[in-house]
Amino acid sequence: MALRGPAGLGPGSRRPLDEAVAVVEGREAPALVAAGGAPEDEEEDDGRARGLLRWDGFSAWLHCVCVVGFDLELGQAVEVIYPQHSKLTDKEKTNICYLSFPDSNSGCLGDTQFCFRFRQSSGRRVSLHCLLDQFDKDLPVYLKKDPAYFYGYVYFRQVRDKTLKRGYFQKSLVLISKLPYIHFFHTVLKQIAPEYFEKSEPYLEAACNDVDRWPAPVPGKTLHLPIMGVVMKVRIPTCHDKPGTTQIVQFTQQADTNISVILPTVHEVDLFRCFCPVFLHSQMLWELVLLGEPLVVMAPSPSESSETVLALVNCISPLKYFSDFRPYFTIHDSEFKEYTTRTQAPPSVILGVTNPFFAKTLQHWPHIIRIGDLKPTGEIPKQVKVKKLKNLKTLDSKPGVYTSYKPYLNRDEEIIKQLQKGVQQKRPSEAQSVILRRYFLELTQSFIIPLERYVASLMPLQKSISPWKSPPQLRQFLPEEFMKTLEKTGPQLTSRIKGDWIGLYRHFLKSPNFDGWFKTRRKEMTQKLEALHLEALCEEDLLLWIQKHTEVETVDLVLKLKNKLLQADREHLPVKPDTKEKLRTHIDAIILALPEDLQGILLKTGMT
């Protein structure tokens, strides 16, 4: 099946993405040119340059859209990839095929929505859409794109159809994206998938054209996104937002009469619905996720497995879960052997599975959550018990948390009473989720604040920064030195929960989550030192300095200052707005003070 892409943009037209980039950079955006191509307003024989530009708006949000159907001879097969120029390797297509359909034992009749995550094939060329990376720096760490992974958002339909040989119509509409905006993309699919199954490809082409006209996903801006007659109002969080709050402005009748859907969140799942069967053990599960322990969620369907895995990853927010996680994982996955081998310890990963085969294959894993059907909002399932792993022998084992893990912290009975009271009073699931999310947030913040405080103390004093020396190094993180700080400034200052906090910290310091968190903080602090060093240079009288130094030393200074400017742009250093302009002025003044032959050479080494 082939879809015909619409004609390229006309000369002089301006892309929404260009405008957004211009706003972010505070300047007019230049015309983008595809690699080896001509500018947009020049004729291009094969239209390739224009075609790539044509889809810039689309590729800011999505990599591609796939339709996966069932072929009697081939099994699952990708029938459509749109836009047609989208690149997927054979391995990626195979993963998408198997992950877009529920396991046969799930028995998903009707419409089912779920999410999966898979590795990008190695050796893939970086997208031309590198401009979007500048938006990434303003995102909270847990929403930043992972360059090694794609997300797949699935709307699967299975209905009886006597006209088909198999007796069933089975098809999935799948959005492939780098963005972890689960709630947002599921909402998009709810708007377009049902009609797509009725109207087929022209409808899909029209929907993709709408996406291509969207503004870029700039964090902190309220965005109005039209899709097939519906306008969605969303706001992507920024790293400056207060954790646990939503910043979207509720609409007023006069201003937003054309808004159809307002999303208070782009990425959060219904936390209480997912934790409902296990909320007695939610604190223990928080510890397991925090410590990056191998964890399997065995569920009856992909929607329940993916929601639960995403809720687990979400429960340590605003910390990022740095290990791998697979909301829906099948025996056909390209990492199946790697993750199920018994020749080494299970990896630090959270897997969501539905195939009963995994009950045997993953029997050696230390922590397994087996859940039944998630109840509709307002109903509460029977609370599962913590059971010994040796009891997980049969495929029809009862729901439960199978682990021999002993939590470091005492259980907080207060949150359990609060949630139980909410169930008795028929409190809406959204309200229960708010309570549970706030509880996890306070628990995570109580845990991380002492670490943040200690890491801040590793920063050299500002007075030690000299413009004429390299920026000073951060002090080394010493675990025992950190442990000593807990006595006076530990989590007991902000949390009522008792227990072995020291033991929990010791375990955490050996985990992938600590490693990822500390690398991120160290990078941020190193960049801050570089920015302070740059600002110190700007405050110096450089013209006075060159009077006391040779031409060779002056040329060396100019080259170093130019490198500093390049670094500030490349790494988005947190410098004051006028610092870079001051430095450019300094460079120009120094060059003009040099002989003419040197001026010409230095101006050729890069524009200032």
Place of tokens 């979007």: 132
From residue 554, alpha-carbon distances to 122, 294, 312, 561, 582 in Å are 45, 57, 57, 11, 18
Which tokens hold the place of 66? 């796939």
Among 409, 379, 376, which Cα is nearest to 282's? 409
What's the rounded Cα separation, in Å, for the pair 328 and 304? 9
* Contact predicate 594/602, CB 8 Å: yes
Last residue of a domain, one of 472, 497, 513: 513
Residue 4 lies in a domain: no
Reference 67, options 273, 208, 165; nearest CA is 208
3-state secondary structure of 541: coil
Residue 212 shares a structural domain with residue 337: no
* Domain around 338: 273-513
Instruction: Give the number of other Cβ atoms within 10 Å of residue 293's Cβ.
Output: 21
pLDDT score for 366: 93
- Beta-carbon contacts of 149 under 8 Å, excluding residues fewer than 6 positions away, are 117, 118, 119, 120, 178
Structural domain ending residue among the three candidates 216, 238, 256: 216
d(CA 295, CA 13): 51
Q: 593 and 509 in one domain? A: no
Distance CA(418)–CA(325), nearest Å, equals 30
Q: Are 61 and 214 in contact (CB under 8 A)?
A: yes
Compute mean pLDDT per 10 residues along the chain, 608 residues long, and list them: 36 40 36 31 33 75 93 82 90 94 76 94 56 73 90 92 77 95 96 90 92 93 92 91 65 54 89 87 96 95 95 95 96 90 90 90 90 61 65 61 93 91 89 93 96 94 83 92 92 91 96 96 92 85 83 84 84 82 84 80 62
Beta carbons of 269 and 314 less than 8 angstroms apart: yes
Same-domain pairing of 209 and 277: no
388 Cβ neighbours under 8 A, 6+ residues apart: 402, 404
On whether both 161 and 117 belong to a single domain, the answer is yes
Cβ count within 10 A of residue 378:
10
Cβ neighbours of residue 404 under 8 Å, at least 6 residues apart? 366, 388, 389
- pTM, entire model: 0.83
Considering the domain architecture, whether residues 66 and 193 belong to the same structural domain is answered as yes
- CATH no. for residue 71? 3.30.450.200
Predicted pLDDT at 205: 92
* Residues 257-269 as b or e (16 or more Cβ within 10 Å = b): eeeeebbeebbbb
CATH of the domain at 398: 3.40.50.11500
Based on the domain organization, do 369 and 445 belong to the same domain?
A: yes
Q: Please provide the distance, in angstroms rounded to a whole number, between the alpha carbons at the two ends of the chain.
A: 52
Q: Both 397 and 280 in a single domain?
A: yes
479 CB contacts (<8 Å, ≥6 apart)?
506, 509
Angle at 286 between CA 443 and CA 509, to 5 degrees: 80
What is the distance between the alpha carbons of residues 556 and 175, in angstroms, rounded to a whole number? 51
Q: At a CB cut-off of 8 Å and minimum separation 6, what does 492 contact?
A: 501
Specify the residue for token string 């959550």. 369
Report how many domains make up the chain: 3
**198 & 319 share domain:** no
- Assess if residue 292 is contained within a domain: yes
Using DSSP, state whether 134 is helix, strand or coil.
helix
In terms of domains, do 548 and 503 share one?
Answer: no
